[in-house]
Amino acid sequence: MRVAACDGGARAEPLLSIDRLDVQFRLPGGGATLKAVDGVSFEIGRREIFGLIGESGSGKSSVARAIMRLAPIASGSVTLAGIRFDQLQGRDLRRHRRRVQMVFQDATDSLDPRMTIRQALAEPLRMRDASARDAPENIVADLLHRVGLDESHLDRKPRGLSGGQRQRVAIARALALEPELLVCDEAVSALDVSVQAGIINLLLSLQQELGIAVLFISHDLGVVAHLAERIGVMYLGRLAEVATAESLTARPRHPYTEALLAAEPEPKPSSLRAPRPPLIIGDAPSAANPPSGCRFRTRCRYARELCASEPPRLRPLPDGGLVACHFAEELVLEGRRA
Ligand SMILES: Nc1ncnc2c1ncn2[C@@H]1O[C@H](COP(=O)(O)OP(=O)(O)OP(=O)(O)O)[C@@H](O)[C@H]1O
Ligand code: SF4
Ligand SMILES: [Mg+2]
């Protein structure tokens, strides 16, 4: 059973609250900056799985890295359980850092090839309890079981495991620090579809058994909609829409979300049904030089004059979602095909 879905906006006592977050990178040569994230706000409830989707370059990883204090925050705030996480320094930062852990796309990069799985899991446990020289065997075994592996994997090195098993070890390492929030950045994107399903089910069971919240980032709407209760759709550094997975896929309110749904593969391929034509064409404009007004306007089939001059605000709709489109109330958009 999933935690009851709630609206696209605020929840009581969120675990994570991101408010008007700006992440900027200085471009090489000259003083120009690139706004990878531009005024993004959303909240994640305790035990909630929140999905973030969008094309390559839309700023998903920059949001994740800003939360982890790995990307430069130009303005805005990241609050974790009432603490200004973006302002923590020194000892306070070390003390609270373990509360948010990240799992990356390729566990090969985050696991030391020379370490056995036993050593890889013992390392974060020692960080958790600096006085314990050796990680208790039963905690390591428990971690392995939680992620669907067993003691037979303990003395293997990462290269002796499959991609899916390596990703399970990366998740176990993150869990060793008992985080409240797990940030998964394209954590299943490099895996085969059948292996992806196993990791997704693992994340669902961890959310239920351990009560952790998950920020699940992917460019694959199908995967995110299967896992997340609410989804934020990013386009060129901004949020275009936030809604429950159900509402977002059945009744998208932003033309970009409609286009993403139209690009999904057919659930039941049928020779009788004409394929849907693509609703957006071409690549996204560069984040270094975004269009004026609505950033989606150069690819939006509903764009009008106002869209070039006025940037649409992310605003609440009566049905509970949030949308950044001037004409959301009057557009009749097509959802996912049954
Ligand atoms: N360290 C950096 N220096 C300069 N520009 C960067 C840096 N990191 C990201 N960017 C730029 O910021 C924008 C957002 O990148 P980001 O990696 O956050 O997007 P993404 O949505 O995660 O994309 P992908 O789906 O490819 O992972 C892009 O235009 C990217 O080129
Ligand atoms: S504001 Fe205009 S350009 Fe932007 S999504 Fe809505 S209709 Fe399209
Ligand atoms: Mg990324």
Angle at 299 between CA 298 and CA 300, to 5 degrees: 100
CB of 235 within 6 A of ligand 2: the answer is no
Instruction: Give the position, in ligand 1's atom list, of the atom nearest the Cα of 286.
Output: 29
Residue 127 confidence class, pLDDT cut points 50, 70, 90:
confident
Pocket probe mutation, ligand 1, options 24, 62, 221, 224, max atoms within 8 Å of Cβ: 62
Q: What is the CATH number of the domain that holds 136?
A: 3.40.50.300
H or E, element range at 95: helix 90-97
pLDDT tens string 256-290: 999 999 998 876 666 566 667 778 877 889 999 99
pLDDT tens string 23-32: 999 988 877 8
Q: Nearest residue CA, atom 5 of ligand 2?
A: 325
Residue 217 lies in a domain: yes
By residue range, what is the domain housing residue 227?
46-72+92-235
CB of 240 within 6 A of ligand 2: the answer is no
Residue 222 lies in a domain: yes
**Confidence (pLDDT) at 6:** 40
Q: How far separated are the first and last CA of the chain, in Å rounded?
A: 23
Number of compact structural domains in the chain: 1
Residue 227 lies in a domain: yes
pLDDT tens string 154-208: 999 999 999 999 999 999 999 999 999 999 999 999 899 889 999 999 999 999 9
Residue 240 lies in a domain: no
Residue 287 lies in a domain: no
Q: How far apart are CA 232 and CA 49, in angstroms?
A: 11
Å from CA of 190 to ligand 3 middle: 12
Q: How far apart are CA 158 and CA 161, in angstroms?
A: 5
Mean pLDDT, rounded, for 309-327: 96
**Confidence (pLDDT) at 138:** 85
Å from CA of 257 to ligand 3 middle: 18
What are the backbone angles phi and psi of residue 15, rounded to the nearest 5°? -75, -50
Angle at 217 between CA 168 and CA 324, to 5 degrees: 165
**Confidence (pLDDT) at 4:** 38
The beta strands (E) that lie in 7-96 are given as 16-26, 33-44, 49-53, 73-80, 83-84
Residue 165 lies in a domain: yes
Residue 137 lies in a domain: yes
pLDDT at 8 over 60: no
